[in-house]
Structures are given as structure tokens and as C-alpha cells.
């Protein structure tokens, strides 16, 4: 078999070009097919790479001339021809009319001429396949076959190398993409830490800071990372005795969460929560420590305030119960002593002693009122009042209650500021706050001022006012009472205890003081906020709900006294006394008997209802205790109303009238008398009730 010199020259030139394209696999296939088409004069030239992925052998098109659409029917045909030509190991001439197997049938789809199939093998390994379909000039085909014998080995080697290059390129591309993705992920992590609102710090294993984020700098009030990096963590937070505990936790568990005191650049401190962790490498070796922080100063203050509010609420419930029981005891004593007073002549030597005892009991009753004020049950005689007028009427008293070295100032609204309240209790608020301001100023010169105004409060502005009282305040208009002093101010710890009963920074035994103020404000559905700086003074700001239509809430004038002569002609009715305290019930019975009233006594409310049902036509009034076992006062009132809608009921209780009316809700009564009471008070109230509508 001879080789045409012209073909040899073309093959040699093509080999030079093929070698130069070894590292350009994407161009190699196009060049080989186009040059072979020109060399052989074929209608179509196809170059395929042999693949053996996971044992399944197949061929993939890498070059075709003229160009065909990848995935088209012709390309699929040549890929199928290559797949079934696995037993072809040398260049073969295929004449369609002579080949009756599947290869021949498939080649007919490309044309009716002669084709050449050249296996490309490196040693015994199939690398690819070169197909020249429908050769136009077959006269020199033997020389072409000879040249292809020499060329196939070089083509196989270059195709194999091109495969390596492709694999290498693919690997490089994949690793480049992975590296870029990893770099992007690291950048995102950096951005996330830099942008985080949570302070973050990283230190080496010697506890020296190597990184802090902007949030850390802002929280610790540093201007740049250079001021922080390189310093030990102990310059920024103190763990104290827990240092060993933290180190052990990081060493054994890898993390620690707790609270600590942090120190800012300016020397101030704040409470912080820290979540620390040990950072390890792929071999579990520690490389650094990571910590994130949260400033919990405000949370800790709110927790302390909440704890104090809950403690004061518990004390309030206890105080209210004690005041109620104390009033019952005082009621028994005062009632019996009042009776004793009626049984001796005024000139008797013991008369003065009895009067002094009664006076002392009234002072004791006032003490229970202060206890009720502390518990928030202190609305005693609410009516429409102008807060500016209450302050104005007592300016002289307020002024003399302060030391001479303290100047007293008032800043009162020009127009009335109406609320629904007890003027005595509002006066007590102002007096206690003024005296507190005078104590804070001490012996030096100072000023205490009182300001009254009407303000509109938004939800945000109201937030600090309901914390101490536990009252949920609604947005709207309020009376604002401000008492300001330029005294010594208060520490954060003092502010949390200032409303505790008997608490003072001056001396012991001061009394309920500001604790009663808090109770009064709570009972008026108000709020209080404190602004204080040590060494600069304190401002107490009190909010009380404004009364927009004072005329409608005015207390009706008392009815003129009834004609005494007319009253004496009326027979005194039978009074049913219902009280589970036997001593109080019998005392009330004796008092009413002294006043000329017939009485029935029952300590059990169920039996009392049965008795009333039997004697309802004879009973003119019911004297009812509010708090009893088995049935509440409200239930007894409703049951009496069910029996007789017109029944006259006087409620007697150690609680205040306002609190009693809230407990009774919609159940109406004819009158109220607060324990303890004197004989004259009980007889006067009874007379008023039984004489109504007679």
C-alpha cells in the first residue's frame, strides 16, 4: 500500500497544527474534522470521544464538519454507529451497498457512497472514533487508508491528552468555583459579623483580643479597633471569682453562657450577658475564643423593678388584710367604749379617760387608712377636685414643712386641672414628696418646686409611669404633678427601694411615707416616674387621669335635715344585724338598742336570709358586714333584693367606701359606715336610712 506524497505533506502539516492545539480541546475537534474533510473529500467528517463511565461504554461527539446541531438525529446516528463498532480496531472502508449489518444500515442515512471508520486507540484502549461519511472521490482511497494508519496513533494520543486537559480544566473550574463560593461565604460571614447589632469579640488562647466588630466598639464606647485589639479581655469585662469556672467550661464543654460586669472606655460599667465558645480546627485543636454579648442593664433594672412591684403588691395584700382585721378589733373596742361613755355622766372622773381612749382609737383608725393607702385601697371620699387649688390652699403648710434653708416654689397651671379624687390624699402625695425633697437637700441651700399642669400622653411617653404602680395607663390627657429638688439625688439601688415601707436613707422609723404615696397613686388609677441623678437632684412626676366634664361628677349636695318633730313621731323599725364576727354583731346590737331600735342578730348569712324571709314585713333595715364566710356581701345584697327590692341595707366594713362599692359592683345599698365607728355615727347613719321615704 503506497502513500501519496501530497497527502503525506498535508498530514505532516496537519500534525504540526494538531500538536499546537493539544491544550485547546474545544478547538481540536473542529480543526481535525475540517482538515480531514478537506484531505479525504468526504461529505461529512465526525470525531467522537470514547467514554467508559462506571463501566458503561459510549461515545460523545467532539467535532463535526460541516456543523450539525448537537442532539440532532444525524449526531445521534453517528454516536450509535460508534457505540456498536467496538470490534473495529483498524481503519475500514465501508461501502453501503456491500454492508448489510446495522452499521451499514445506519450509514445509508448519510449517503449512498463510501465511508471510512478509523478507530483511535492508545495501545489497546479505545480513545475515540473518526468517521468520514460519503467520500466523493474513492480513486485514491487506498493512499488515504495508509495515511490514516500513520495518523490514527497520533490522533489517539492527542485525543487522550485533550481528555486530560478537559478533565483538568473541569477540575480547575470546579475548584475555582468552589474557592470563589468559599471566599464569598467567608465574605458574607465577615459582613454578617461586621453588620451585626450584637457585640462580637475574638481572642487568642492567651485571652488577648484579636478582633472586635463595630457593635462592640459602640457598646464599649471606643472609636477604633486599634484601641482594643491586643489588650486582654480582663480590661473590658470582669468575671471575678468565676474566671476559673469559665476557663474550665470552655476547656471541657467548649462553651459558657453567663452574666458579667463590663467596663466601658470612660470607666462606667454595665450588666452584660456573654455567650463564649472555644473555636477548634479540623483536628479539634483550640485556635481561639469567640464571644458575643448583650447589654442587659435595662433588663436587669426592669427585673428588679418588677420584683419590687410584685413584692409591694404582696405587701399591699397583706397590709390590706391586716388593716381590715385591725379595723374590726378597733370597731369592737370603740363601740364598747362609746357605749360606756353613754352610761356615765359627763362629770364622772372616768369620762375624760374614755374620751382620750376614743381619740387614741381614732388615731389608730387613721393609721389603718394609711395602711389601706399603701395597699392601693385608699380612695376614701372621692369627688371632683382641682389639683392646682389643692396645692394653692396648702402652700403655707407646705412651706413651713421645709427647713429654712430650702426655698419653696410653685408653678401652677392658670386654668383648673380637674380630677376625680380625694383632696386629703392628693395633699398627702404632695406633702410627702416635698418633705422627701427637703430631706434630700439637707443642710445646704436648695430649692423644692411643685408644678401642676395638664398634659397629653402618648403610649411611648406613658411607658415609664406604669412600671411602679402596675397600672396600665391609656393614652390621653392627664393631670401632671411634678415635685423637683436639687438635693443629693438617688442611686439606682435607692430608686428600687424608695417606695418600701419605712425605708429611708436618713434615719429609721420614718413611717409609711412614699410607700403610701405609691398606694394613693395606684388607687387613683395613676402612675409615677422618677428621674434622679446622684449629686444633681430628683424629680417625681405623678400622672392622674383628667376629668373632662367636672360638672357631671360633682358630689350632690346633702339633703336638708328632716323635721325632728316629724321624725320623733315615727316608730323605730326592727334592724337585722348580719356579721360573722360575734363580738362586733353584739356590740352593734347594743349600740342600736341604746338608740331605741329593736334588733335581730345572725352571724350566718344563709340563716340570716331565712330570718329576713320570715320577718321581712317587720324589718326596716339590714346592717350587713361585707366580708363573711359561705356568702359574700354582694351575694347577700342580691339575695335580699330578690326577696324585697325595696330593702334598706347599710354596709359595714373595715375597707373604704370606694373599695366596697367596687366589690358590690351593680348591687346597690342605702348607706355605708366604715369600721371602727362611734355610737353617734352609727345612730346618725341608721336614722338617715330608716327615715328615707317615710
Summarize pLDDT for 7-24 with one digit per residue, the tens.
Answer: 666 666 777 777 777 667
Contact 198, 215 (CB under 8 A): yes
Question: What is the distance between the alpha carbons of residues 369 and 358, in angstroms, rounded to a whole number?
Answer: 17
Q: How confident is the model at residue 184 (pLDDT cuts 50, 70, 90)?
A: confident
pLDDT of 629 higher than 50: yes
Contact 4, 32 (CB under 8 A): no
pLDDT top residue among 277 and 505? 277
Here the cell at position 213 is: 466588630
Provide the CB-side half-sphere exposure for 358 (13 A, CA).
19
Give strand pairing partners of 476. Answer: 457
- Name the nearest CA neighbour of 624 among 642, 646, 648: 648
Phi-psi region of 177 (alpha: psi -120 to 50; beta: other; left: phi over 0): alpha
Q: What is the mean pLDDT of the chain?
A: 80
Q: How confident is the model at residue 215 (pLDDT cuts 50, 70, 90)?
A: very high
Q: Give the model's pLDDT for residue 201.
A: 93
Q: How confident is the model at residue 566 (pLDDT cuts 50, 70, 90)?
A: very low
Strands 383-386 and 286-295: unpaired
What is the DSSP code (8-state) at residue 465? G
Q: How confident is the model at residue 228 (pLDDT cuts 50, 70, 90)?
A: very high
400-417 per-position pLDDT tens digit: 778 889 999 999 999 999
Give the dihedral sign, CA 386/389/391/393: negative
Question: What is the distance between the alpha carbons of residues 210 and 201, in angstroms, rounded to a whole number?
Answer: 8
The single residue listed with the C-alpha cell 412600671 is 467
Phi-psi region of 111 (alpha: psi -120 to 50; beta: other; left: phi over 0): left
- Kindly tell me the burial class for residue 304, based on how many C-beta atoms sit within 10 Å of its own C-beta (0-12, 13-18, 19 or more): middle
Who contacts 469 (Cβ-Cβ below 8 Å, separation ≥6)?
309, 376, 518, 521, 522, 526, 527, 528
Residue 52 DSSP SS3: strand
CA-to-CA separations, 10 to 7, 147, 627, in angstroms, rounded: 5, 10, 122
Q: How many C-beta neighbours within 10 Å does residue 132 have?
A: 27
Question: What is the distance between the alpha carbons of residues 331 and 646, in angstroms, rounded to a whole number?
Answer: 29
Transcribe 146-195 into DSSP letters.
HHHHHHHHHHHHHHHHHHHHHHHHHHHHHHHHHHHHHHHHHHHHHHHHHH
Percent of the chain with pLDDT over 90: 26
Q: Give the model's pLDDT for residue 381.
A: 63
Compute the C-alpha angle 470/473/475, nearest 5°: 160
Transcribe 188-254 into DSSP letters.
HHHHHHHH-SS-EEEE-TTSBEEEE-HHHHHHHT-S-GGGTTTSBGGGTEE-GGGHHHHHHHHHHTS
Question: What is the distance between the alpha carbons of residues 571 and 622, in angstroms, rounded to a whole number?
Answer: 17
Q: How many C-beta neighbours within 10 Å does residue 409 have?
A: 11
pLDDT of 342 higher than 70: yes
Here the cell at position 9 is: 505533506
Question: What is the distance between the alpha carbons of residues 3 and 431, in angstroms, rounded to a whole number?
Answer: 127
Question: What is the distance between the alpha carbons of residues 61 and 429, in angstroms, rounded to a whole number?
Answer: 97
For the ranges 99-103, 436-440, 610-614, which has the lowest average pLDDT?
A: 99-103
Contact 524, 421 (CB under 8 A): yes
Give strand pairing partners of 472. Answer: none
Mean pLDDT of 166-184: 80
Compute the C-alpha angle 584/585/591, nearest 5°: 85
Q: Give the model's pLDDT for residue 8.
A: 61
Who contacts 78 (Cβ-Cβ below 8 Å, separation ≥6)?
46, 48, 61, 64, 131, 133
Q: How confident is the model at residue 164 (pLDDT cuts 50, 70, 90)?
A: low
What is the DSSP code (8-state) at residue 550? G
Question: What is the distance between the alpha carbons of residues 375 and 522, in angstroms, rounded to a whole number?
Answer: 9
Q: Give the model's pLDDT for residue 603.
A: 92
Give the dihedral sign, CA 553/555/560/562: positive
Asked if omega into 382 is within 30° of 0 (cis), the reply is: no
pLDDT of 312 higher than 70: no
Mean pLDDT of 457-464: 89
> What radius of gyration, in Å, describes the C-alpha atoms of the chain?
52
CA-to-CA separations, 75 to 29, 30, 61, 81, 87, in angstroms, rounded: 14, 15, 7, 10, 21
Q: Give the model's pLDDT for residue 208.
A: 92
364-390 per-position pLDDT tens digit: 776 666 666 555 555 456 788 999 998
- Name the nearest CA neighbour of 319 among 361, 364, 369: 369
Here the cell at position 646 is: 325595696
Amino acid at each position: 500500500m503506497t502513500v501519496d506524497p501530497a497527502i503525506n505533506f498535508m498530514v505532516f502539516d496537519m500534525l504540526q497544527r494538531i500538536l499546537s492545539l493539544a491544550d485547546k480541546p474545544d478547538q481540536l475537534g473542529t480543526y481535525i474534522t475540517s482538515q480531514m474533510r478537506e484531505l479525504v473529500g468526504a461529505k461529512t467528517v465526525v470525531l467522537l470521544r470514547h467514554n467508559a463511565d462506571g463501566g458503561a461504554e459510549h461515545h460523545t461527539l467532539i467535532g463535526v464538519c460541516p456543523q450539525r446541531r448537537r442532539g440532532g438525529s444525524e449526531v445521534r446516528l453517528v454516536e450509535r454507529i460508534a457505540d456498536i463498532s467496538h470490534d473495529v480496531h483498524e481503519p475500514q472502508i465501508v461501502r453501503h451497498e456491500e454492508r448489510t449489518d446495522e452499521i451499514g444500515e445506519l450509514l445509508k442515512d448519510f449517503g449512498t457512497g463510501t465511508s471510512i471508520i478509523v478507530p483511535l486507540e492508545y495501545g489497546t484502549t479505545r480513545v475515540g472514533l473518526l468517521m468520514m461519511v460519503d467520500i466523493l472521490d474513492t480513486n485514491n482511497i487506498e493512499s488515504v487508508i495508509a495515511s490514516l494508519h500513520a495518523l490514527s496513533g497520533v490522533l489517539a494520543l492527542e485525543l487522550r491528552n485533550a481528555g486530560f486537559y478537559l478533565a483538568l480544566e473541569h477540575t480547575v473550574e470546579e475548584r475555582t468555583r468552589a474557592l470563589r463560593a468559599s471566599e464569598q461565604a467567608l465574605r458574607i460571614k465577615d459582613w454578617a459579623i461586621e453588620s451585626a447589632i450584637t457585640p462580637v469579640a475574638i481572642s487568642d488562647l492567651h485571652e488577648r483580643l484579636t478582633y472586635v466588630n463595630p457593635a462592640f466598639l459602640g457598646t464599649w464606647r471606643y472609636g477604633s479597633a486599634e484601641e482594643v485589639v491586643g489588650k486582654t479581655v480582663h480590661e473590658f469585662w470582669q468575671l471575678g471569682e468565676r474566671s476559673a469556672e469559665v476557663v474550665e467550661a470552655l476547656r471541657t464543654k467548649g462553651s459558657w453562657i453567663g452574666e458579667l460586669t463590663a467596663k466601658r472606655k470612660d470607666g462606667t460599667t454595665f450588666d452584660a450577658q456573654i455567650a463564649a465558645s472555644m473555636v477548634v480546627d479540623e483536628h479539634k485543636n483550640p485556635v481561639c475564643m469567640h464571644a458575643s454579648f448583650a447589654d442587659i442593664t435595662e433588663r436587669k433594672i426592669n427585673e428588679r423593678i418588677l420584683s419590687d412591684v410584685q413584692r409591694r403588691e404582696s405587701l399591699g395584700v397583706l397590709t390590706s388584710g391586716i388593716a381590715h382585721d385591725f379595723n374590726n378589733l378597733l370597731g369592737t373596742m370603740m363601740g364598747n367604749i362609746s357605749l360606756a361613755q353613754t352610761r356615765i355622766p359627763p362629770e364622772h372622773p372616768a369620762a375624760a379617760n374614755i374620751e382620750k381612749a376614743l381619740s387614741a382609737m381614732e388615731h389608730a383608725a387613721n393609721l389603718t387608712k394609711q395602711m389601706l393607702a399603701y395597699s392601693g385601697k385608699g380612695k376614701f371620699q372621692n369627688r371632683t377636685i382641682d389639683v392646682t387649688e389643692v396645692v394653692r390652699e396648702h402652700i403655707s403648710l407646705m412651706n413651713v414643712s421645709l427647713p429654712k434653708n430650702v426655698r419653696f416654689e410653685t408653678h401652677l397651671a392658670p386654668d383648673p386641672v380637674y380630677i376625680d379624687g380625694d383632696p386629703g390624699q392628693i395633699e398627702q402625695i404632695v406633702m410627702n414628696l416635698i418633705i422627701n425633697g427637703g430631706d434630700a437637700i439637707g443642710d445646704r441651700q436648695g430649692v423644692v418646686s411643685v408644678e401642676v399642669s395638664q398634659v397629653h400622653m402618648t403610649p411611648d411617653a406613658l411607658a415609664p409611669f406604669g412600671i411602679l404602680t402596675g397600672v396600665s395607663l391609656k393614652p390621653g390627657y392627664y393631670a401632671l404633678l411634678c415635685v423637683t429638688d436639687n438635693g443629693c439625688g438617688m442611686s439606682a439601688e435607692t430608686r428600687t427601694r424608695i417606695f418600701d415601707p419605712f425605708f429611708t436613707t436618713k434615719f429609721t422609723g420614718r413611717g409609711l411615707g412614699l410607700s403610701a404615696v405609691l398606694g394613693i397613686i395606684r388607687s387613683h388609677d395613676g402612675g409615677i416616674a422618677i428621674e434622679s441623678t446622684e449629686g444633681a437632684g430628683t424629680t417625681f412626676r405623678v400622672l392622674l387621669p383628667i376629668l373632662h366634664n367636672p360638672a357631671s361628677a360633682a358630689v350632690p349636695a346633702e339633703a336638708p335635715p328632716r323635721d325632728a318633730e316629724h321624725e320623733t313621731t315615727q316608730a323605730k323599725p326592727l334592724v337585722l344585724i348580719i356579721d360573722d364576727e360575734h363580738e362586733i354583731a353584739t356590740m352593734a346590737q347594743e349600740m342600736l338598742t341604746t338608740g331605741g331600735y329593736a334588733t335581730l342578730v345572725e352571724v350566718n348569712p344563709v340563716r340570716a336570709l331565712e330570718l329576713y324571709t320570715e320577718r321581712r314585713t317587720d324589718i326596716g333595715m339590714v346592717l350587713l358586714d361585707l366580708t363573711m364566710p359561705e356568702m359574700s356581701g354582694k351575694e347577700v345584697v342580691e339575695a335580699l333584693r330578690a326577696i324585697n327590692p325595696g330593702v334598706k341595707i347599710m354596709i359595714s366594713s373595715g375597707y373604704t367606701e370606694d373599695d366596697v362599692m367596687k366589690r358590690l359592683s351593680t348591687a346597690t345599698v342605702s348607706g355605708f359606715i366604715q369600721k371602727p365607728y362611734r355610737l353617734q355615727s352609727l345612730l346618725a347613719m341608721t336614722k338617715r336610712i330608716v327615715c328615707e321615704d317615710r
